Chain A
Amino acid sequence: MTKLAQLQASFIKDCLSGPINTDNISLAKELDTSSISAQGLMAIYQNSAIANITSSLSLSYPVVEKLVGKDFFEQVSRQYIFNHWPTTGNMDDYGEKFPQFLADLAQAKHLTYLRDVAQLEWLFHQCSLAKDSIAFDWTLLAKVAPADALQLNFILAPSVALIKSTHAIDKIWLMNQDNASQDIELSLDDDNETNIVLFRQELKTEMMTICASELAVLESFANGQPFAVAIEAAMASITAMDAEISIDLILKKYIELGVICAFSMS
C-alpha cells in the first residue's frame, strides 16, 4: 500500500470507528497539531460527514423529524450513522434500515407508530426515484381469450409501493405536511389496520388508503402471482367494510391509475 493509500485508510478508520477520542486516532502523527489536537481536527471532519449524512436522512424522513423534533432526530441519526456508514456516494440509497433502527430504539419505544411512519416515508422516497413505466396496452388485453384471463400476471409500475400498518400512518403523514389541511382528525379509534398504495403520477407521488381486499390483489401482483391467485387472495381478505367487491372494477381502477402497467401470461 502506498503512503497516500495508508493515510487515507487511517483517516477513514479514525472517522468510522466511533466518536473520536484521544485513544483511537491512528492518523495523529501525520497531522499538524500545533494549534488544535489530532482529536479536535478529526472531530471536525467526522462531525461534518455526520452533518452531511443527517441532511440526507432528514430529506428522506421529514415527518419523522417533525414528530421527534430536530434535536432528537440529530441524536438518533448520529447513532444510526455510527452503525450504518454509507458505502457509496449515492446518498439516495442511504437510510433504508432507519425505520427498523427507530423501532429498536429504547428512547422511542412509546412512539409505537414511528417505525411504520418512517417506512411510509422511505417508500415515498423510493417512489420519487423509481423508473417510469410504460402505458398499459388495452388493445393487447382485449386480445386475451377469456379462458386465459385467470393465468395473466399483471405487473405493477416500478414506482408502486404497498404498506399496511396497525396505525393511522396515512393521517399522521398528512397532518405533518407543510400545507396540512386543518380538517384531518386523528383519534385512538383510527388505530386499526391501514392499507396504503403509493404510486407516481407525473411529478407527484399519490397516496391512497385502500381496503384489505384491494391490497391483497395488488400484493399478489407484486409477488408475481397470476390473476386467479389474486382473486382468491381478495376473497380471503374481504372484511365487513368491503361489503361487495368487484375484481373487474379493481383491475380497471388500478390500470387507469397507472398502478398496473402491463401483463404477461403465466
Chain B
Amino acid sequence: MQKIQGVGISLKHQHFHEFIENKPDVPWLEVHTENFFSQDSTASKYLAKISQDYPVSAHCVGMSLGSASIDCPIRERHLQSIKKTIAWLQPSLVSDHLSWSASADGHYLPDLLPLPLTEEAFDAVVKNIKHAQDVLQRQILIENPSTYLTYVDSPITEWNFLSSLAQETGCGLLLDVNNIYVSGHNHGFDPLEYLQNIPLTAVKEIHLAGFSIDNVEGKKIYIDSHGHRIYDGVWQLYGQAVKRFGVLPTLIEWDTNVPELSVLLAEKAKAEAIITSVNSANNEPVCL
C-alpha cells in the first residue's frame, strides 16, 4: 500500500487504455469501489494492471453509513463486498459519505440521501462507522455530501456533526470543497465558516468537482453532477482550504459526461498551480 500525495484524478473506464499505454503523469488515482466488486471482471483486470504503476484510493458510495439500523442485510452484504475488493486492491485510502441509501425495511435507493443532523442520527452514524472500521480493519474517511434539502428537525451544523464523528470514531474526513460550495449555496451558509470549523488534523483528502445548475420552482439549485469543469468559486474555496489544511491529497472527480483525459489533466494542473501559489505566499500552511 503506497502513500498518496499531490493531485490525483478519478480513473474512468474510458481512460483505461491511455493509462496502460501512455502512463500519464498522475501521482495517484481514485476508483469507485462498487465498480470492482468482481475481482475477475474485465474492469478489475484493467485496474490491477494500472495499479501496478499508480497508487489507488477506494471511494465507496454504498456503505449507507447514515442508515438508522445497524442490522441491515443490504448494508452488511455491501460492506462484505467492499472488504473483498479492498483486500486485493490494497488502496491507500478508503472513503464513503455522510449519507444513507438503505432503509431498515429493506429498500435501497442508489443515491447519497440526506440525513437529519440530530443526536439520534449522530449515534446511528457513529455505530455504523465503528462497525465498518471493525469489518474493514482500517480507518475510513467520511465525505461531506452535497445536499438539496434540509429537515425541520436538524439542529446540528454539518461541520460540527463531521468534527464530532471524527473525534468519536477515529475516522478521518474527506473534505469535498465542491460539496461545501454547493450546499452553501443551496442552504445559505458561508463556506468559509464551514472550513474554519473543521479540525485541522481530521482532514486526510480533498475532492474537487464540477456542478450543474437546476431551476426548481424559480430557485437556482446547484447539483453535484461531477460532469463539468470546476467552477471559479470552488477553485477560490480550494485555495482557502489549502491555506487552512496545508497540502493534502486532492482529487479531480469526474463521473458523468466523461471527457478526454486531457481535460482532467488540465484541471489537475490548475489545482497544482493553486497549491504552488499558496505555498509560495506562505511557506507554512496558514490558518484562516
Q: Interface residues, chain A, CB within 8 Å of chain B?
A: 1-5, 7-9, 11-13, 15-16, 29-32, 35-37, 40-45, 48-49, 52-53, 55-56, 85-92, 128-132, 200, 202-205
Pick the contact of A44: B41, B105, B110, B149 (CB < 8 A): B149
Q: Of B117-125, B191-199, B203-211, B264-272, which stretch is located at the interface?
A: B117-125
Which A residues lie within 8 Å of B114 (CB)?
A: 45
Q: Are A88 and B148 interface neighbours, CB within 8 A?
A: no
CB distance from A92 to the nearest CB of B (A): 6
Which B residues lie within 8 Å of A87 (CB)?
A: 74, 107-108
Q: Are A11 and B219 interface neighbours, CB within 8 A?
A: no
In the complex, whether B62 has a CB less than 8 A from a CB of chain A is yes
CB distance from A187 to the nearest CB of B (A): 33
Most chain-A Cβ atoms within 10 A of its Cβ — which of B46, B108, B149, B217?
B149
Interface code B109-149, partner A: CB below 8 Å = 1, 0 otherwise? 11101101010110010000000000000000000000011
Which A residues lie within 8 Å of B230 (CB)?
A: none
Q: Are A91 and B34 interface neighbours, CB within 8 A?
A: yes
In the complex, whether B153 has a CB less than 8 A from a CB of chain A is yes
Q: Are A88 and B77 interface neighbours, CB within 8 A?
A: yes
Q: Are B108 and A132 interface neighbours, CB within 8 A?
A: no
CB contact list, B80-126 vs A, under 8 A: 81, 100-105, 107-111, 113-114, 116, 118, 120-121, 124
Q: Are A89 and B62 interface neighbours, CB within 8 A?
A: yes
Pick the contact of A88: B68, B78, B103 (CB < 8 A): B78
In this complex, what residue of B is CB-closest to A32? B150
Which B residues lie within 8 Å of A7 (CB)?
A: 68, 116, 151
Q: Are A4 and B109 interface neighbours, CB within 8 A?
A: no
In the complex, whether B260 has a CB less than 8 A from a CB of chain A is no
In this complex, what residue of B is CB-closest to A16? B107
12 A-B pairs in the complex with CB atoms less than 8 angstroms apart: A5-B103, A7-B151, A8-B104, A16-B107, A29-B152, A42-B149, A45-B113, A89-B74, A89-B101, A90-B62, A129-B41, A205-B42
**Cα(A15)–Cα(B101), bound, Å:** 12
Which A residues lie within 8 Å of B151 (CB)?
A: 7, 30-32
Interface code B211-233, partner A: CB below 8 Å = 1, 0 otherwise? 00010110101010000000000
**Cα(A204)–Cα(B41), bound, Å:** 10
Q: Interface residues, chain B, CB within 8 Å of chain A?
A: 34-35, 37-38, 40-43, 45-46, 61-62, 64, 67-69, 74, 77-78, 81, 100-105, 107-111, 113-114, 116, 118, 120-121, 124, 148-154, 214, 216-217, 219, 221, 223, 256
In this complex, what residue of A is CB-closest to B120? A4
Most chain-A Cβ atoms within 10 A of its Cβ — which of B64, B68, B102?
B68
Q: Are B108 and A89 interface neighbours, CB within 8 A?
A: yes
Which B residues lie within 8 Å of A37 (CB)?
A: 217
Pick the contact of A92: B38, B107, B153 (CB < 8 A): B38
User: Given A41-B148, A55-B256, A30–B153 Cβ distance below 8 Å?
Assistant: yes
Which A residues lie within 8 Å of B42 (CB)?
A: 128-129, 200, 203-205
Q: Are B152 and A32 interface neighbours, CB within 8 A?
A: yes
Pick the contact of A9: B81, B103, B154, B214 (CB < 8 A): B103
In this complex, what residue of A is CB-closest to B111? A49
In this complex, what residue of A is CB-closest to B255? A55
Which A residues lie within 8 Å of B118 (CB)?
A: 4
Which A residues lie within 8 Å of B77 (CB)?
A: 88
Q: Are A89 and B78 interface neighbours, CB within 8 A?
A: yes
Q: Are A8 and B110 interface neighbours, CB within 8 A?
A: no
Q: Are B34 and A31 interface neighbours, CB within 8 A?
A: no
Which A residues lie within 8 Å of B37 (CB)?
A: 90, 92
**Cα(A53)–Cα(B61), bound, Å:** 13
Q: Are B216 and A9 interface neighbours, CB within 8 A?
A: no
In this complex, what residue of B is CB-closest to A10? B103
Q: Are B221 and A44 interface neighbours, CB within 8 A?
A: yes
**Cα(A92)–Cα(B42), bound, Å:** 12
Q: A43-B216, A89-B78 are in contact. List 12 more A-B contacts (CB 8 A).
A: A4-B120, A5-B105, A7-B68, A12-B103, A30-B152, A45-B114, A49-B111, A53-B110, A56-B110, A89-B102, A92-B38, A130-B41
